[in-house]
Structure 1
Amino acid sequence: MASSATLYLSPSTTRFSSKNYPSSLSRFPQFRQFLAIKASATLYDSKVSTADKSSIPLKTGIWQWKFNDNSVKIYYEEHNRENSEPCKNILMIPTISDVSTVEEWRSVAKDIVARNGKVNWRATIVDWPGLGYSDRPKFEYNADVMEKFLVEFMNAPDSPISYSDNELVIFGGGHAATIVLRAAKRNLVKPSAVAAVAPTWAGPLPIVFGRDSNMESRYGLLRDTLRAPAVGWMMYNVLVSNEKAIQSQYESHVYADSKNVTPGIIESRYALTKRKGARYVPAAFLTGLLDPVKSREEFLEIFAALEGKIPILVMSTANSPKRSKAEMDALKGAKGVSKFVEVPGALLPQEEFPSSVAEELYRFLQENFETQC
């Protein structure tokens, strides 16, 4: 027996720009009546790093995460200079999205590790469970599950990250930064410093349509449909897993300059959306289940609670979507924020403008870690 469900999120007279949430939603018939697709970009010249990265080897590995009697293979990469004993470690965590991957941090990792300074750095990049090259089991994903993963990845005796208390710097993009800081506020992790790159806290639909009980019911309907057999894959293929939808996302709000969206990037991200179990985390992210807080007030409170405890860099971007940028800019001068800078880019500056991002991150490291190895 066939069944169908229609999701209405807004009156038909309402129109929204694709810069507020993934433009691929407009490809789903129920959304066409209130979506206006306007891909726009501001042009920037990407800086070319002068750091020599040729000697930075890439080591990949799999860490087994035990969760609810399941063993989940977690993919990670290590970037470390040859013939150099690192003094401090950096954990780089990708932005949560339907095409999240360690690849977004690779250029930044190589840049920072290759630099000759007072401190030698070793960088580890890890894929989230359910995303990138990690396993994608059918869990009930939410912000608490993602936080639990990070806490255990950092603290487990067999973790690939080798560090003592207060000897780990964390760079996180988007929701990743907020989840890390929430865990630090709860004393579940003890980083020595955190850089929040284009930090976000609200998923694509909640940031536009809000979180009242009526909307939450509709999000639940969409989420359940995306997770369902057969029809879930059909909807996922329409919303996310097609090259035109991915390109539209990148050109409208993920990147600032559409000229930087290459065929290679689209092919790589498209392949990620075809991996087994690929739709489960995006279903949670899209509908707000991965949001670590529910309001700007809670967002600011996380930073305020860490005032004087650890240095925190906030990196806003010049061309983030309007609503996302408003949340980033609310952190300028906020309690707990040690330093606030703006770089070119939109929601993924570490991938689009890695040299600019690496320069600011390395300056932050220099300002806070002056001890000679």
Structure 2
Amino acid sequence: MQESLIWNWRGRDIQLGVDIRGEGPTVVMLPALSSISSRSEMHPISELLNSSFRCVAVDLPGFGSLPRPPTAWAPDAYRSFVAFILDRFSNPVATVAAGHAAGYLIGHVAGHPGSAGRLCLVAPTWRGPLPTMMGRRHPAFRALSRVVDVPGLGTALYRLNVNRPMIRMMSLGHVYSDRSWLTAQRFAEKLQVTNAIGARHASFRFVAGELDPMTSRDEFLQAARRVKDPILVVYGAKTPLRSKSEMQALSELPEISSVELPQGKLAVHEEFPTETAAAIRRFLGAAP
């Protein structure tokens, strides 16, 4: 069932897409923050879990399939939204969060125990692509993020970084491990996400690291240590090494369960939903 909800951020009502499937205890699903991400990336695992759970997949502000307002998105917006969505769909048995959404979820639950149920973190990240590649944050990244808001110039800058060749290269390099998975139809769907009205404002900020939920590995791990609820980390063996090292560091913390799947990169839940859903089912104690 496709729905939408209204979230108010600094006096502006923002419409976001929501998909609800199945019946039973609620599992909230938060997709990754990326230029090609939307709630649809959660559909494959929700189809495998909705026989036992009510799966609620929601687009994140500034991303997804609907038009997006020209907003200078910042981490505070995502912290506020995670609190909002967990209140809107209260008392979930679990929350599944991918990529940066997992980082925001950890930060929220560290201060609000029990608000998200069990935490299922899929390829969790805290650092955006440019800072990851450069090994550090740079003042120029923030300046470029402001330029992207300028009409005309911002669109041109966005298209230099988000276009068909670049999306294909980045997807096959970092997101998907099997080239044949990215069929023409799937690629067209990803392009549609990047072409949504207002897509450039959040997308470029994510790439530049301006939407990072934490500023260091230590902050990332310290937040996870404060979480009292059970945590599962799922990631793929072919995850890019710098990102994988962060996931492994998180997995090594006491009391955290982890599963390294034999395949998969940053979108392991989308490319290998059967294996990902099976790991989540085991963690939640649900029948296979």
TM superposition score category, shorter chain reference: over 0.9
Q: Does 1:219 align with 2:141?
A: yes
Q: Which amino acid aligns with 1:221?
A: A
Find the counterpart in structure 2 of residue 72 from structure 1.
14
Measured after TM superposition, the shift of residue 333 of structure 1 is: 2.4
Task: List gaps (5 residues or longer) in structure 1.
Answer: 1-58, 115-119
Find the counterpart in structure 2 of residue 28 from structure 1.
none
For 1:199-225, what per-residue CA distance to the aligned partner results, in whole angstroms no more than 9, with x for missing partners? 11000111122445xx2x211222122
State the alpha-carbon separation in 2 of the partners of residues 284 and 189 from structure 1: 30
1:154 equivalent among 83, 86, 99: 86
Task: List gaps (5 residues or longer) in structure 2.
Answer: none
2:30 equivalent among 93, 98, 115: 93
State the alpha-carbon separation in 2 of the partners of residues 311 and 66 from structure 1: 31
Whether the 8 Å contact between 2:118 and 2:230 is mirrored in structure 1 is: yes
Q: Does 1:346 align with 2:271?
A: no
Find the counterpart in structure 1 of residue 130 from structure 2.
205
For 1:145-168, what per-residue CA distance to the aligned partner results, in whole angstroms no more than 9, with x for missing partners? 11101211221xxx3x2x44xx43
Measured after TM superposition, the shift of residue 361 of structure 1 is: 0.8
Q: Which amino acid aligns with 2:93?
A: L
1:230 equivalent among 145, 149, 152: 152
Measured after TM superposition, the shift of residue 189 of structure 1 is: 6.7
State the alpha-carbon separation in 2 of the partners of residues 189 and 228 from structure 1: 42
2:206 equivalent among 281, 285, 288: 285
**3-state SS of paired residue (1:75):** strand
Whether the 8 Å contact between 1:65 and 1:72 is mirrored in structure 2 is: yes
State the alpha-carbon separation in 2 of the partners of residues 188 and 194 from structure 1: 11
State the alpha-carbon separation in 2 of the partners of residues 196 and 97 from structure 1: 16
Find the counterpart in structure 1 of residue 43 from structure 2.
106
Q: Which amino acid aligns with 2:158?
A: Y
**3-state SS of paired residue (1:331):** helix
Superposition pairs for residues 135-214 of structure 1, below 5 Å?
135-155=67-87, 159=88, 161=89, 163-164=90-91, 167-187=92-112, 190-211=115-136
Identity %: 29
For 1:260-279, what per-residue CA distance to the aligned partner results, in whole angstroms no more than 9, with x for missing partners? 11111110111111111010
State the alpha-carbon separation in 2 of the partners of residues 175 and 100 from structure 1: 11
Indicate how the Cα distance of structure 1 residues 189 and 269 shifts in structure 2: closer, same or farther if over 3 A, else same: farther
**3-state SS of paired residue (2:46):** helix
**3-state SS of paired residue (2:250):** coil
Measured after TM superposition, the shift of residue 251 of structure 1 is: 1.2
State the alpha-carbon separation in 2 of the partners of residues 280 and 189 from structure 1: 33
Q: TM-score, normalised by structure 1?
A: 0.74
Structure with the higher helix share, 1 or 2: 2
Q: Does 1:327 align with 2:264?
A: no
Find the counterpart in structure 1 of residue 231 from structure 2.
312
Paired residues, number: 286
State which structure, 1 or 2, has the greater radius of gyration over its C-alpha atoms.
Answer: 1
Q: Does 1:297 align with 2:218?
A: yes
Q: Which amino acid aligns with 2:226?
A: A
**3-state SS of paired residue (1:64):** strand
State the alpha-carbon separation in 1 of the partners of residues 251 and 56 from structure 2: 28
For 1:61-99, what per-residue CA distance to the aligned partner results, in whole angstroms no more than 9, with x for missing partners? 111111111110011000015xxxx2x110011011011
**3-state SS of paired residue (1:205):** helix
Measured after TM superposition, the shift of residue 317 of structure 1 is: 1.3
Measured after TM superposition, the shift of residue 232 of structure 1 is: 1.0
State the alpha-carbon separation in 1 of the partners of residues 201 and 79 from structure 2: 17
Measured after TM superposition, the shift of residue 188 of structure 1 is: 7.7
For 1:8-54, what per-residue CA distance to the aligned partner results, in whole angstroms no more than 9, with x for missing partners? xxxxxxxxxxxxxxxxxxxxxxxxxxxxxxxxxxxxxxxxxxxxxxx
Find the counterpart in structure 2 of residue 14 from structure 1.
none
Find the counterpart in structure 2 of residue 355 from structure 1.
274
State the alpha-carbon separation in 1 of the partners of residues 195 and 136 from structure 2: 30
Whether the 8 Å contact between 1:151 and 1:189 is mirrored in structure 2 is: no
Whether the 8 Å contact between 1:178 and 1:199 is mirrored in structure 2 is: yes
**3-state SS of paired residue (1:227):** coil
Q: Does 1:275 align with 2:196?
A: yes
State the alpha-carbon separation in 2 of the partners of residues 332 and 61 from structure 1: 35
Q: CA RMSD in A?
A: 1.6
Whether the 8 Å contact between 2:175 and 2:265 is mirrored in structure 1 is: yes
Measured after TM superposition, the shift of residue 336 of structure 1 is: 4.5
**3-state SS of paired residue (2:50):** helix
Measured after TM superposition, the shift of residue 257 of structure 1 is: 1.1
**3-state SS of paired residue (1:194):** strand
Indicate how the Cα distance of structure 1 residues 189 and 204 shifts in structure 2: closer, same or farther if over 3 A, else same: farther
